[in-house]
Amino acid sequence: MLTSPVLGNFTIGSDVIPLPGDLLEPYLLMFTGQYQQEIKQVSPTALMLSWAYDNSGNRLLQQPQWYSFNQINLIFDSPADVAYPYALIYFQQLPPLATSITNFLTQFYPRLVRCACMIGVAEWLKDFGQGQSDSIKWAEKFEEQIEIAQAESDRARRAQEVSPIFVGGAGAGVSATPPYGWN
């Protein structure tokens, strides 16, 4: 589940931002305010290869351009030279049902949850030789429910505005639709 933007500020001289405890994976990270731009995620190797040093061997303080994700922190290519404001959107872990009786799965996809539970029940029954156990039937129903949930997610993504892609015809960098190229 995607979060609303989480706002914060870089710490001057630091190249890390600690992650929220419920973060599964970052979705979007960007500078806000006068420095507005997206910060791209790269591999740890690419990040370390981009580290810049001064003549004394100290890392240069400058505006970070890239980050990597190590499950604990977002790590940046440069320690920040200014307390840059940022916004982070991320995929959030579901709250445990032990602390809440509902989450988005139980609210919007109860059949999916039921099918998943029935797979486990069928396996348990098979292990103890009790009743009819048809975990394959429930696995198939589970896959159907996953496909329904994915189709709903895909419909939501199709509603997003995307940048145009120019294909053939007018040459590189020239659009075949108004405003007919770049000036």
Residue 134 placed within a domain: yes
Residue 176 placed within a domain: no
Q: What is the pLDDT of residues 81-132, one digit of tens each?
A: 999 999 999 988 877 777 778 877 888 888 988 888 888 888 887 766 665 6
How many other β-carbons are positioned within 10 Å of the β-carbon of residue 80? Answer: 21
Report how many domains make up the chain. Answer: 2
Domain span at 88: 6-92
**117 and 148 in a common domain:** yes
Residue 116 placed within a domain: yes
**66 and 120 in a common domain:** no
**69 and 33 in a common domain:** yes
**123 and 47 in a common domain:** no
**110 and 88 in a common domain:** no
Reading the block at residue 63, the tokens are 């505006």
Long-range contacts of 60-67 (CB under 8 A, 24+ apart): 61/12, 61/13, 63/31, 63/35, 64/10, 64/15, 64/39, 65/39, 65/40, 66/39, 66/40, 66/41, 66/42, 67/26, 67/29, 67/39, 67/40, 67/41, 67/42
pTM for the model stands at 0.64
φ, ψ of residue 137 in degrees (nearest 5): -60, -45
pLDDT at 126: 74
Residue ranges of alpha helices (H) inside the chain are: 44-49, 104-108, 110-127, 135-158
**131 and 60 in a common domain:** no
Q: What is the pLDDT of residues 53-73, one digit of tens each?
A: 999 999 999 999 999 998 889
pLDDT band at 76 (very low <50, low <70, confident <90, very high): very high
**130 and 108 in a common domain:** yes
**119 and 83 in a common domain:** no
The pLDDT of 127-150, averaged and rounded, is 79
Residue 114 placed within a domain: yes
**110 and 85 in a common domain:** no
CB neighbours of 79 closer than 8 A, spacing ≥ 6? 12, 13, 14, 15, 59, 60, 61, 62
**68 and 132 in a common domain:** no
Helix (H, G, I), strand (E, B) or coil at 23: strand
CB neighbours of 72 closer than 8 A, spacing ≥ 6? 18, 19
